[in-house]
Structure 1
């Protein structure tokens, strides 16, 4: 613990000072020794930290989307230089530089929160041990030790002994019930946040190992939080549950207002925009105009969902403009109708029995036609006049000699011109 204190001493005093300032405000409303005053002070600390981290969250979103788009190219580089690790790393760095992508940006919010998390953990542990720390003096220390949330002290843990819990004026059963409920809520909120990201806000047209990794994290992270949660004080559980709920709400807002291109969330968002345009014949809101502007700028590189949106505008007789607005267009409806592709209807596949029956019928008809032709030929031979004059046995017929020569026509030949005799 002393090692952790020395590592995060630069942040322990500011964190304790912020908690004390919030406690003064909530203490005037609920009482200085109230668990709600101290609990809401921790919640307010989380909200303040997350507001400061919003710019990093925006970078995280951009980095995550860029990494998802780059996955096919990264995989191609790995396959191409699988025997040359140095060249592979150089090509990867070159790809990141060309696209302006930072792989570490997706981890920035978590990394930025880590010092505050460990500082708060150390502050609460010091309160449980009865030690002054940072801006918390002896009076505030005594007040924090008396604060309970639903019967559980802020500094108590699920794994604490009966003696330690009793020293904090609480029962072990109350502490374990409260901590167990908070651990379940913390893990559930983490799972739901990751699940809505994977099911709604992922580009379904790009199948990469990155998606499989995210699916694994969706199940691994809640288990990690559940295992670690039994060693967290109640105050830290309040902190982590609050930050998970904040992340979940922030993620829902991003999914609804700025979805990933090619995802189900984008389809739902553009359908809402199209419905609004149908009702008002204009794009309302700067965010929506920026979205339409980006779709127009893509041109032929639009995905299927964006083409569907442009076609929907065309059916309304509207055309999207470069500035994100829409205008009436006489050719838009015709272009929309022309862009509709109808699938060619395939003939219904017959069963094996029907195919055999059809083949047998066709074969019987062919045999019947052949038999009729043979009968007709036989009758014609019988009716033909016979030549009474016998042919010379020693001299072959002239027709036979002509037929023996290749390249000549069968049948009677034209008489030669008198000049060629």
Structure 2
């Protein structure tokens, strides 16, 4: 770690200068040799760095979302050019170029603050070794060595020996208890940050290997930080814990105010927005109007959550406009009621056993109708043959006249000779 930190020694001067300026301000309040003065100076350094990195954080959010959207296409390219790695790479780069996506953008905030992290590590290591560094002269060095946070010196580490800790004016037990608590808090904040990203701000309709990778990182990163944390000085732990808490809060704000389309967070956000519109009868706030504007512009490409929001507005008799506002609309309410009635009239979905029973009964009915049809056709054929076998001289009219005169139908029996 010391070797890596020495590579960023060129930035130790500005880092030490910023810490000293904050120390002057907090020293006037809490005292120059207190842990509060030096600890809050490190916290302020983190806040200043993270404020400067907000544009990179915005790029990170956009890049992460674009990567989530592109996962199905990337998977298709990998399957198509499975045996041609060069062509696969070319198609991937072409896809990134067409969509304006940079895979490294998701790592920019971490990469950008890494030099400051190692520079601070280098400064605190020099304080532990009683060496002047940057703008920290001997008087400031003595003050920093006397500063303790809950009994642990700024430059002490979890793995330090008892002799080294005693040289800094503290006990090994205090150092290990404080550093252990800070390491657990640092790992827990990292885990919670990744977890809320996976459970709330991921498009649930996209199931790709990227999701599994992010899930693995959710468990791997906290373990990595815990292992590395035992070699960090207390001041560096303060730095890293602060930046993790900042990241967690920053991400929580983004999830609540600008969630990923199709995610659980978007469902909750649009639910709150619909409740606000129900209460006030309008869309309040520029950010919310921009959200409604984006949903309207999507048209038929809206996801299920966005369609649910538009339907909710229609039930209230409101219609979303292209500028993000809503207006009264009787047509929208009628269409929503008609759609709901049509959905209610739809038959219930049958189970597999019911469908099989219905198919068997329909087959039996078809067999019975076929049998009865065949019998009817045979009867008709026999009747036609009987009709052909009758004498041609007889007709329907003759038979009717005979019936009227009282004569019996069919051949007549000859009279008895005595009656002639």
What TM-score comes out, normalization by structure 2 length? 0.84
Q: Show the counterpart of 2:118.
A: 118
Q: What displacement does 1:98 show?
A: 1.0
Q: Show the counterpart of 1:344.
A: 347
Q: What displacement does 1:329 show?
A: 1.0
Three-state SS of the structure 1 residue aligned to 2:278 is helix
Contact 2:126 2:133 (C-alpha < 8 Å) held by counterparts: yes
Three-state SS of the structure 1 residue aligned to 2:10 is helix
Q: 1:351-385 CA deviation, whole Å, 9 max, x = no partner?
A: 9xxx8xx99xx99xx9xxx9xxxxxxxxxxxxxxx
Q: Show the counterpart of 2:209.
A: 209
Contact 2:2 2:122 (C-alpha < 8 Å) held by counterparts: no
Q: What displacement does 1:4 show?
A: 3.7
Q: 1:38-70 CA deviation, whole Å, 9 max, x = no partner?
A: 000000000000000000000000000000000
Q: Show the counterpart of 2:334.
A: 334
Three-state SS of the structure 2 residue aligned to 1:122 is helix
Aligned CA RMSD, in angstroms, stands at: 2.6
Q: Show the counterpart of 1:316.
A: 316
Q: 1:96-135 CA deviation, whole Å, 9 max, x = no partner?
A: 1111111000000000010000000000000000000001
Q: Show the counterpart of 2:387.
A: 412
Q: Show the counterpart of 1:98.
A: 98
Q: Show the counterpart of 1:388.
A: none
Question: Equivalent residues in 2 for 1:225-264 (5 A)?
Answer: 225-264=225-264
Q: d(CA) in 2 for partners of 1:5 and 1:290?
A: 45
Distance of aligned partners of 1:319 and 1:153 in 2 relative to their CA distance in 1, 3 Å threshold: same
Q: d(CA) in 2 for partners of 1:282 and 1:345?
A: 37
Q: Show the counterpart of 1:54.
A: 54
Q: Show the counterpart of 2:65.
A: 65
Three-state SS of the structure 1 residue aligned to 2:319 is strand
Three-state SS of the structure 2 residue aligned to 1:412 is helix
Q: What displacement does 1:349 show?
A: 7.7
Q: d(CA) in 1 for partners of 2:391 and 2:156?
A: 125
Q: Show the counterpart of 2:158.
A: 158
Three-state SS of the structure 1 residue aligned to 2:104 is helix
Q: d(CA) in 1 for partners of 2:322 and 2:98?
A: 26
Q: d(CA) in 2 for partners of 1:47 and 1:245?
A: 11
Q: d(CA) in 2 for partners of 1:304 and 1:232?
A: 47
What TM-score comes out, normalization by structure 1 length? 0.84
Q: d(CA) in 1 for partners of 2:249 and 2:70?
A: 27
Contact 2:9 2:122 (C-alpha < 8 Å) held by counterparts: no
Contact 2:6 2:122 (C-alpha < 8 Å) held by counterparts: no
Three-state SS of the structure 2 residue aligned to 1:157 is coil
Question: Equivalent residues in 2 for 1:223-302 (5 A)?
Answer: 223-302=223-302
